[in-house]
Each structure stands twice: as structure tokens, then as C-alpha cells.
């Protein structure tokens, strides 16, 4: 039925793996409020890629990955240094690092315009990503990275989870202060350098953040968040690759994951639509049933009140007992649910 | 009475300003001890410095004669509850289970005893009914009790609590006091950073009054005097009336 080219299969496998690892790691990033760090680090990879090419004159995935790794680590060290020793706020320093490194990368790209020849296009592809540049070696490296990410998370699952939730208590249990932080940063850089060739430095952070947001809105369990984010990452990557035969793969994948996140933001059980609906319904009900609540709380069984609100009788929230009117069990339940246990 | 913790010549400085200056303390076993002082007096810093959460500029802390590294398994710390994001996707029981994560190897599943002890800790603070509740759905007082349960679960002999009574409801305050008395019965030592001067005499055996320097330490009866309190809060306008 379908005949897929060799390249298409490679791209499919590669994007699925990138979707998986960015999904998993994104959960740790968003919960430890590091979303912007991922954006800064991916942008910072660009000058590293170009410099690695200038120094080696070789245009291979491994060389690019190594260059990106060095530049991202350097950027991370700078971010930490500024955070520690300067009065500049963290978000400001992130913005500074992001734009300056990316700008430097662009300058380097234009410097080699005349000498790079056919490799220029491959280097330019790092900005928005180009899935078709992937080859067999890259896929092997991706297998390796996938294995490392999953291994680290399985082995250090508990300390990493505790660190993300409560870093102070984590430390008070005697865990090495730096362990979890270094691990999360290391995995982040690993995921970023795996993904930028296909997705591009600009859009990489969306791939990390969007599946995690969607997963958080779908589940209140940490472990399920990891699994869901991974699945959303893989699924978006696979669908994106299919559509990407006619459109640019990276951006399409990002559009899909972001759409999933947006849908969840609106329609999940923790989503906006339900929130607004519940708020709206409550406002309406509290208006309708305010007399009933006051009647119940003051215990004044007055006939005029019941006569004024015959609907309560009809709905069964007020019943006639002997010659008095009292709030029925259903009525008490309704009041309890409306008052949220404070009555 | 046997000495439990010794603090010698402790100085802690943030950059170039000392937060704690030349603190010498011996803390006896099995006592409920309040750490009292004005804002910025270094109360939280004192317990954080004891367990290496902040760097000591100079000084030593010994627990039963051992260093922190050799003793850390016997110490339970209760952070201020606003130090974490309560939107984290997890349940009450899971937070308590975190209390002994360091005992589990990465491939080990929590055993039945492990889980039942965690639930027992929840019962002690009156939160067992909420064990499966999402932590974002807790009130402030309930959050505090969950943190307390997590500390109880560690089964330590020294408890360090950072403002557990801060902004909690009456029910939680009572639950915390019950837990403190229980810990005292079990001959545990409890250090509590405390704000409310009016309850010090009622809740605690000993009090440590600090304002960057140690002002006084001893039995509440002996040292929680007007004179010492005025000395501790010198130059600070407090709205709470000081009368003992």
C-alpha cells in the first residue's frame, strides 16, 4: 500500500526518538521552572555548530553535535556564573545569553558564506532544522542518546523527582546538592544537541515544553506525566513526519505538539473551558439557592419564605414536615456542595 | 541530661554581612526547644547551618559527637511550606513516601512495611483520610501536616522545623502540638523556629533567643523573661504585645 523511501524511514525513526526524549525531559524542565533555560541552551548551540565546522572543515552530524555540546555547556556555565555573581535577574541573563550566542552564530554563518560551498545549506538548516539531512550514523548516535536519557532517568528517578519537587528537603536527606541539577542539565543538553539538526535551534524548546504542558493537564501523577509526555512527543513526531513530506518537518512537528498543548489547555479536565464553566455555573446556582442556604443556616421555618420560593418545594430541596417546612437531605447535600464544606 | 547537639563558634555570613555571629550552644536530648527572635535574626539560618544547607563561615556542629555527614540519617528537616510548588503532580501519600527515598536503591520498590509506616505517619497528623488527595487541593494547614508526616516517617532522633506554626488553622496547630508531645515522649529532640511569643511557655521546654548573636538559652521558666525578650527584640517595633 505505502512505499516509504529509506530516508523517510530514517527520518521517522529519528524524529520519534527525539520526540520521546524531549517529552520525558520536558516534564522535569517545566516542573523545575527551567523552560527558558532550554530555549537559551538550544539557541546557544548555533555558534558551536558553525565553529566546529570551521575548525574541522567537516560537515558530519557528529562534528556538529560535538560543537553544539561544547557551546551549550559554555552557555550554561555562563548562565550559572551570572546568576551567582551578578545582580542581574535570571530571566534577563537567559535572554542575554540566548540572543548574544544566536547572534554570534549568525555572524559566523555569514563569515563562511564564500568558503563553505555546498555545506552552507546544511549549516543554515540548523536555524529552522531540516529533517532530510539525517543519515544512518546520526540515527545510531540518537539511539545512544535515547539509551542514556532513559537509563539516567530510571536509575536516578527518585532523587531527580524529589529535587524537582523540594530541593531543600532533597538536600536535607543527604543527597549531593549538585547531583540532580547536573543530571537534569546534562540530559537537557543531550536532548538539545540531538534535536536541533532536525527541528532547529529556534523551535527546539517548543518540542521540550509543549508535550510536558499537555501531559500535566492530563494527569496529576508524576510518573504518568512522564509517560504521557513521551507518547505525545512520539505521536507528534510521527504525524509531523508524514505531513512533512510536503512541508518542513521540524516546524510541522512543533505546530502539532503545540496544538495538542493548546487543546489540553482549553479542553482537558484541568483546562480553561471547564474552569470557566464551573465558575459560571457556581455563580448562577449560588444566586438561585442563596435564600435556601440562608433558610437552612438560620433555621427559621417561615411560611412566607417557602411560598416565595415554590421551586424549592417542587425540586424537593424543601419538604413539608408536620406543619413546618424543612430542608430535605437532597437540599443539605446541595448546600454542602455549593459551600464547599464551609457551612 | 545528655547532650545531643553541640554548636561551637558558629558564624554564618551572606556575602560580607554576618547573619549569625559567634553562636555557642549545647542542646540536650529529649527537649522541645523554640528558636525565637525577630525577622532576620538568623533563626532559620541556624537550623540550616546545622545541616549544611547554608555554608558555615566558621564553626562546628556535632551530633552525639559525630559530624553531620556521619549523623545525617538521624535528622529530619521540615522546610517552610512555601518553599515548594504545591502544583507538583503528586499525592499526599507520595510526598510522605519521599521522606525515606535515600534508603531505597534505584531498583527497589517501596516494601509493604515502608508504605504502612508512611501511612502511620499520616495518621499521626490526622491526614490519613487525605492520603490519595492531589497536593494542590490542600489547605495551608494540611500542607504543613503533610510536611510534618514526611519528617515523622524518616524516624529521626533530631527534628528541625522551620516555622511549622506559620499561618496554620487551629486544627493544624493542635495536630502539630500533639506530634511535638509524642516526639518528646519518644525522647526525640525537637528544634522549632517559632514566631508566636504568646505560646512559647505553653508549648516548649526550652527557648533559644537569638538576634544574630545568642541572647539566651535555657528553660523557658528561667530565660524567657521580659528582660531577655526586650534585649532580643531591641530596636524592633513588634505589634504583638510582649508580656509573660
User: How confident is the model over A283-328, as pLDDT tens digits?
Assistant: 888 888 888 888 777 765 555 565 556 778 788 888 877 777 778 8
- Judge whether B99 and B118 are in contact, CB under 8 Å: yes
CB of A166 within 8 Å of any CB in chain B? yes
CB of A5 within 8 Å of any CB in chain B? no
Q: Which residues of chain A have pLDDT under 70?
A: 1-3, 299-309, 340-343
**Predicted ipTM of the assembly:** 0.89
- Judge whether B144 and B95 are in contact, CB under 8 Å: no
Give chain A positions within 8 Å (CB) of B96.
none
Check B88 against A165: CB less than 8 A apart: yes
- Judge whether B130 and B142 are in contact, CB under 8 Å: yes
Q: How far apart are CA B221 and CA B205, in angstroms?
A: 8
**DSSP summary character for residue A156:** T
Helix (H) or strand (E) holding B215: strand B213-219
Question: Helix crossing, A61-85 with A90-111: angle to 10°?
Answer: 150
Name the minimum distance, in Å, from the CA of B10 to any CA of chain A: 19
Given a cut of 60, whether residue B203 has pLDDT beyond it is yes
pLDDT tens digits, B30-47: 999 999 999 889 999 999
Among B162, B243, B217, CA closest to B31: B217
Give chain A positions within 8 Å (CB) of B136.
220
Q: Which of residues 214-273 of A touch B (CB under 8 A)?
A: 216, 219-222, 224-225
pLDDT tens digits, B119-170: 999 999 999 999 999 999 899 999 999 999 999 999 899 999 999 999 888 9
By DSSP bridging, strand B32-36 and strand B206-211 are: parallel
- Judge whether A229 and A56 are in contact, CB under 8 Å: no
Q: Which of residues 26-55 of A touch B (CB under 8 A)?
A: 31, 33
Q: Contacts for B198-204 with beta carbons within 8 Å, 24 or more apart? A: B198/B240, B199/B165, B200/B34, B200/B36, B200/B224, B201/B244, B203/B32, B203/B34, B203/B177, B204/B32, B204/B33, B204/B34
For the residues B100-107, what does the mean pLDDT come to? 91
- Find the closest chain B residue to A155 by CA distance: B106
pLDDT tens digits, A122-157: 888 888 888 888 889 889 999 999 999 999 999 999
**DSSP summary character for residue B85:** -
Check A220 against B73: CB less than 8 A apart: no
Evaluated on CA atoms B101, B103, B106, B112, the torsion sign reads negative
By DSSP bridging, strand A318-321 and strand A324-327 are: antiparallel
Instruction: Grade residue B236 by pLDDT with cuts at 50, 70 and 90.
Output: low
How far, CA to CA in Å, does A15 sit from each of A38, A134, A308, B62?
18, 10, 67, 54
Given a cut of 80, whether residue B239 has pLDDT beyond it is no
Could you give the 3-state DSSP secondary structure of residue A88?
A: coil
B235 vs A95, more confident: A95
pLDDT (0 to 100) of residue B243:
47
Evaluated on CA atoms A79, A82, A84, A90, the torsion sign reads negative
CB of A154 within 8 Å of any CB in chain B? yes
pLDDT (0 to 100) of residue A330:
85
The chain B residues in contact with chain A (CB within 8 A) are 51-53, 69, 72-73, 75, 77, 79, 83-85, 88-91, 94-95, 98, 101-102, 104, 106, 134, 136, 150
From B98, B102, B106, residue closest to A174, measured CB to CB:
B102
Average pLDDT, chain B: 91
Check A221 against B90: CB less than 8 A apart: yes
How far, CA to CA in Å, does A335 sit from each of A282, A292, A313, B94, B243?
12, 8, 15, 32, 44
Q: How far apart are CA A215 and CA B9, in angstroms?
A: 50
Give chain A positions within 8 Å (CB) of B72.
173-174
Amino acid at each position: 500500500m505505502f512505499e516509504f523511501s529509506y530516508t523517510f524511514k530514517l527520518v521517522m525513526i529519528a524524529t520519534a526518538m527525539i520526540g520521546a526524549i524531549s517529552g520525558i525531559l520536558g516534564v522535569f524542565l517545566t516542573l523545575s521552572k527551567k523552560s527558558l533555560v532550554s530555549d537559551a541552551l538550544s539557541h546557544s548551540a548555533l555558534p558551536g555548530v558553525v565553529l566546529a565546522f570551521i575548525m574541522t572543515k567537516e560537515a558530519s552530524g557528529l562534528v556538529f553535535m560535538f560543537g553544539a555540546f561544547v557551546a551549550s555547556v559554555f552557555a550554561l556555565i555562563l548562565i550559572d556564573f551570572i546568576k551567582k555573581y551578578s545582580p542581574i535577574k535570571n530571566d534577563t541573563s537567559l535572554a542575554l545569553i540566548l540572543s548574544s550566542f544566536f547572534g554570534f552564530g549568525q555572524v559566523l554563518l555569514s563569515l563562511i558564506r564564500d568558503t563553505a560551498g555546498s555545506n552552507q545549506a546544511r549549516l543554515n538548516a540548523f536555524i529552522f532544522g531540516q529533517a532530510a539531512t539525517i543519515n544512518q550514523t546520526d540515527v545510531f548516535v540518537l539511539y545512544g542518546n535515547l539509551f542514556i536519557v532513559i537509563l539516567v532517568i530510571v536509575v536516578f528517578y527518585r532523587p531527580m523527582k524529589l529535587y524537582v519537587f523540594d530541593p531543600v528537603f532533597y538536600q536535607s536527606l543527604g543527597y549531593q546538592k549538585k547531583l540532580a541539577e547536573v543530571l537534569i542539565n546534562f540530559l537537557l543538553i543531550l536532548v538539545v544537541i540531538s534535536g536541533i539538526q532536525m527541528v532547529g535551534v529556534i523551535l527546539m524548546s517548543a518540542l521540550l515544553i509543549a508535550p510536558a504542558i499537555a501531559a500535566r493537564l492530563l494527569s496529576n501523577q508524576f510518573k504518568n506525566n512522564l509517560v504521557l509526555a513521551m507518547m505525545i512527543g512520539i505521536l507528534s513526531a510521527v504525524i509531523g513526519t508524514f505531513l512533512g513530506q510536503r512541508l518542513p518537518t521540524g516546524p510541522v512537528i512543533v505546530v502539532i505538539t503545540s496544538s495538542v498543548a493548546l487543546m489540553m489547555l482549553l479542553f482537558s479536565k484541568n483546562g480553561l473551558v471547564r474552569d470557566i464553566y464551573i465558575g459560571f455555573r457556581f455563580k448562577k446556582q449560588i444566586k438561585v439557592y442563596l435564600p435556601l442556604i440562608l433558610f437552612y443556616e438560620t433555621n427559621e421555618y417561615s411560611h412566607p419564605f417557602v411560598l416565595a420560593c415554590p421551586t424549592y418545594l417542587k425540586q424537593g430541596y424543601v419538604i413539608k414536615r408536620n406543619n413546618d417546612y424543612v430542608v430535605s437531605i437532597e437540599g443539605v447535600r446541595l448546600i454542602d456542595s455549593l459551600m464547599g464544606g464551609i457551612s | 541530661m545528655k547532650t545531643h547537639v553541640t554548636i561551637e563558634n558558629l558564624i554564618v555570613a551572606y556575602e560580607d554581612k554576618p547573619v549569625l555571629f559567634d553562636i555557642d550552644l549545647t542542646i540536650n536530648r529529649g527537649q522541645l526547644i523554640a528558636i525565637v527572635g525577630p525577622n532576620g535574626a538568623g533563626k532559620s539560618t541556624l537550623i540550616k547551618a546545622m545541616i549544611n544547607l547554608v555554608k558555615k563561615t566558621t564553626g562546628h556542629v556535632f551530633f552525639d559527637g559525630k559530624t553531620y555527614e556521619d549523623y545525617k540519617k538521624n535528622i529530619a528537616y521540615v522546610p517552610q511550606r512555601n518553599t515548594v510548588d504545591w502544583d507538583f503532580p503528586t499525592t499526599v501519600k507520595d510526598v510522605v513516601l519521599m521522606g525515606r527515598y535515600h534508603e531505597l536503591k534505584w531498583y527497589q520498590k517501596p516494601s509493604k512495611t515502608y508504605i504502612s509506616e508512611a501511612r502511620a505517619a499520616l495518621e499521626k497528623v490526622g491526614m490519613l483520610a487525605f492520603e490519595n488527595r492531589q497536593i494542590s487541593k490542600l489547605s495551608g494547614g494540611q500542607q504543613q501536616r503533610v510536611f510534618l508526616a514526611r519528617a515523622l516517617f524518616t524516624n529521626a532522633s533530631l527534628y528541625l522545623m522551620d516555622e511549622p506554626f506559620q499561618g496554620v488553622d487551629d486544627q493544624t496547630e493542635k495536630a502539630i502540638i500533639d506530634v511535638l508531645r509524642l516526639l518528646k515522649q519518644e525522647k526525640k529532640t525537637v528544634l522549632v523556629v517559632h514566631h508566636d511569643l504568646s505560646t512559647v511557655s505553653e508549648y516548649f521546654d526550652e527557648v533559644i533567643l537569638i538576634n544574630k548573636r545568642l541572647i539566651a538559652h535555657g528553660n523557658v521558666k528561667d530565660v524567657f523573661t521580659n528582660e531577655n525578650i526586650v534585649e532580643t527584640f531591641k530596636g524592633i517595633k513588634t505589634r504583638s504585645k510582649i508580656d509573660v
